[in-house]
């Protein structure tokens, strides 16, 4: 198996080409159902067709290309879906999303050039929305493919007041057709996505690629501590009910519990009210973001944090109130896919390191309807959602080869009856 460095160079060049499709010259801003979305889909469709794929766009403007199964494949012939998203955050990097589409496409190009047909279709998908930048709700591309749609989403608006429903019509889509996006779970073998890690673990360990074990479920809260405002010069420390000090102590509790329970926890924001240099904070509002690949472990950590916060509030004369602002369950990657991925890495002489994903991905939505697997690829400094996002071409070459080998492993497994 060879030629992957050359394929990697082409993928890198295509990432640069897609990066130039932006609403703001000089940076990367590519959002759902915009002229940039159309341009990007058209470009990808050309490359898919050149790779011997049949191309179509679904009712949510996700772009699909099918590399058909071998003509003598035993029916019912199912499809393995590969892909990622091509929308971006504001002022984004060039690899978060597009790299997953383009490495999938490169894997298909390899099969096509080698004349290899598999016992299943390989469908490459380019989801139109994952980041949720335009309408404030993530995964609008992959959710309908997984058969999940909430009617209230039609009334989401962008910053110009255009509703999602209007944006669909302006893009030439019929909102009434949204249900036609749903893939039949019986016809799908699984979903496999390659994505930049967006964290420092692989780089720190010296690994180019890793196999993702699951995607963390997140819960977010806004916590208000009620104390009493007072004059900074006249109220003795012993008589204060300082809400900001309560929030500071609570943040340290969050860190300690997170370490003890092996979860991710972040207090990313604290607002002190009234927020004046010479006034004791009478109220403090802070955020808590809590994640783990195991929902039970995450919820146990939450309970400990809440108990400790109650205790410190009693000591400080504060009244806490908790409001949950977000909740999503953890998603486990399928063991079968993980073992095919690990064997692919071993065959390449790479250590099959496993790691969880702390960030959300299209695979989260797709897990509602099929088995999911993910490869992470090392990114420089763990930086993402930023123009400095960077990957090595040599790692991309390994990523394409790992995808191809995983497909071949799946093909030989499906040829052997279970
Ligand atoms: Zn992404």
CA of 229 to the centre of ligand 1 (A): 44
Q: What local confidence, expressed as pLDDT, does residue 58 receive? A: 98
Q: What local confidence, expressed as pLDDT, does residue 416 receive? A: 60
Give the count of beta carbons closer than 10 Å to the beta carbon of residue 13. 11
* Span 397-411, pLDDT tens digits: 999 999 999 999 999
CA of 309 to the centre of ligand 1 (A): 34
CA of 399 to the centre of ligand 1 (A): 16
Query: Residue 191: beta bridge partners?
Result: 81, 372
CA dist 300 to 200, 295, 358, Å?
26, 9, 18
d(CA 258, CA 291) in angstroms, rounded, equals: 10
Q: Measuring CA to CA, which residue among 42, 199, 60 is closest to residue 139?
A: 60
14: its two tokens: 């295509």
Q: What local confidence, expressed as pLDDT, does residue 365 receive? A: 96
Q: What local confidence, expressed as pLDDT, does residue 1 receive? A: 83
Q: What local confidence, expressed as pLDDT, does residue 76 receive? A: 93
d(CA 206, CA 210) in angstroms, rounded, equals: 11
CA of 97 to the centre of ligand 1 (A): 4
Q: Phi/psi at 104 (nearest 5 deg)?
A: -60, -45
* Span 137-152, pLDDT tens digits: 889 999 999 999 999 9
CA of 168 to the centre of ligand 1 (A): 22
CA of 413 to the centre of ligand 1 (A): 29
**Average of per-residue pLDDT across 302-330:** 96
d(CA 385, CA 221) in angstroms, rounded, equals: 23
CA of 130 to the centre of ligand 1 (A): 7
E-strand ranges in 244-300 read 264-266, 270-273, 279-280, 283-292
* Span 338-351, pLDDT tens digits: 999 999 999 999 99
Q: What is the DSSP string of 132-199?
A: -TTTS-S-TTHHHHTT---GGGGG-B-TTS-BHHHHHHHTT--GGGGGGGPPPGGGEEEEEEEEE--S
**Average of per-residue pLDDT across 303-308:** 98
**Average of per-residue pLDDT across 272-291:** 97
Give the count of beta carbons closer than 10 Å to the beta carbon of residue 186. 9
**Average of per-residue pLDDT across 278-301:** 96
CA of 129 to the centre of ligand 1 (A): 10
Give the count of beta carbons closer than 10 Å to the beta carbon of residue 303. 11
In the structure, ligand 1 is a single-atom ion and the residues with CB under 5 Å from it are 96-97
Q: What local confidence, expressed as pLDDT, does residue 418 receive? A: 46
Does residue 415 surpass a pLDDT of 80?
Answer: no
Buried b (16+ CB within 10 A) or exposed e, 194-209: bbbbbbebbbeeebbb
* Span 157-190, pLDDT tens digits: 999 999 999 999 999 999 999 999 999 999 999 9
* Span 90-102, pLDDT tens digits: 999 999 999 999 9
* Span 9-22, pLDDT tens digits: 999 999 999 999 99
Q: Measuring CA to CA, which residue among 14, 1, 26, 8 is closest to residue 91?
A: 26
CA of 195 to the centre of ligand 1 (A): 7
Does residue 83 surpass a pLDDT of 70?
Answer: yes
* Span 198-227, pLDDT tens digits: 999 999 999 999 999 999 999 999 999 999
CA of 44 to the centre of ligand 1 (A): 17
CA quadruple 306, 310, 316, 322: dihedral, nearest 10: 60
390: its two tokens: 């960077």
Helix (H) or strand (E) holding 323: strand 319-327
Least confident of 105-109, 375-379, 385-389: 385-389
CA of 96 to the centre of ligand 1 (A): 5
CA of 361 to the centre of ligand 1 (A): 6
CA of 25 to the centre of ligand 1 (A): 21
Confidence of residue 2 (pLDDT cuts 50, 70, 90): confident
CA of 131 to the centre of ligand 1 (A): 7
Does residue 353 surpass a pLDDT of 90?
Answer: yes
CA of 166 to the centre of ligand 1 (A): 25
């Amino acid at each position: 198996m060879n030629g992957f460095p050359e394929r990697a160079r082409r993928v890198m060049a295509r990432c640069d080409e897609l990066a130039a499709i932006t609403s703001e010259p000089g940076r990367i801003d590519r959002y759902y159902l915009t002229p940039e979305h159309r341009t990007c889909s058209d470009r990808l469709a050309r490359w898919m067709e050149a790779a011997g794929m049949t191309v179509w766009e679904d009712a949510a403007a996700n772009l699909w290309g099918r590399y058909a199964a071998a003509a003598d494949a035993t029916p019912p012939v199912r499809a393995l879906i590969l892909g990622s998203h091509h929308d971006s955050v504001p002022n984004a990097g060039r690899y978060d999303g597009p790299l997953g589409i383009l490495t999938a496409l490169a894997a298909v190009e390899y099969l096509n050039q080698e004349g290899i047909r598999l016992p299943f279709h390989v469908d490459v998908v380019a989801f139109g929305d994952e980041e949720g930048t335009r309408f404030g709700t993530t995964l609008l591309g992959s959710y309908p493919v997984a058969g999940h749609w909430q009617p209230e989403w039609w009334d989401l608006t962008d910053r110009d007041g255009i509703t999602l429903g209007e944006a669909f019509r302006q893009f030439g889509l019929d909102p009434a057709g949204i249900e036609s996006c749903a893939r039949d779970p019986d016809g799908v073998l699984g979903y496999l996505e390659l994505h930049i890690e967006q964290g420092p673990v692989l780089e720190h360990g010296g690994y180019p690629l890793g196999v993702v074990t699951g995607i963390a479920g997140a819960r977010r809260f806004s916590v208000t501590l009620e104390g009493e405002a007072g004059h900074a010069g006249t109220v003795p420390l012993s008589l204060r009910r300082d809400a900001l000090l309560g929030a500071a102590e609570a943040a340290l509790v969050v860190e300690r519990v997170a370490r003890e329970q092996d979860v991710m926890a972040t207090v990313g924001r604290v607002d002190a009210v009234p927020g004046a240099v010479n006034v004791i904070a009478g109220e403090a509002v802070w955020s808590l973001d809590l994640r783990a690949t195991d929902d039970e472990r995450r919820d146990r950590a939450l309970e400990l944090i809440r108990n400790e916060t109650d205790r410190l509030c009693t000591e400080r004369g504060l009244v806490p109130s908790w409001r949950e602002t977000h909740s999503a369950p953890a998603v486990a990657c399928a063991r079968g896919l993980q073992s095919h991925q690990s064997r692919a890495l071993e065959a390449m002489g790479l250590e099959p390191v496993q790691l969880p994903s702390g960030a959300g991905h299209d695979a989260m939505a797709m897990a509602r309807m099929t088995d999911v697997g993910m490869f992470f690829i090392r990114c420089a400094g763990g930086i993402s959602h930023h123009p400095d996002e960077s990957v090595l071409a040599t790692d991309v070459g390994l990523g394409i080869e790992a995808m191809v080998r995983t497909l071949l492993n799946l093909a030989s497994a499906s040829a052997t009856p279970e």
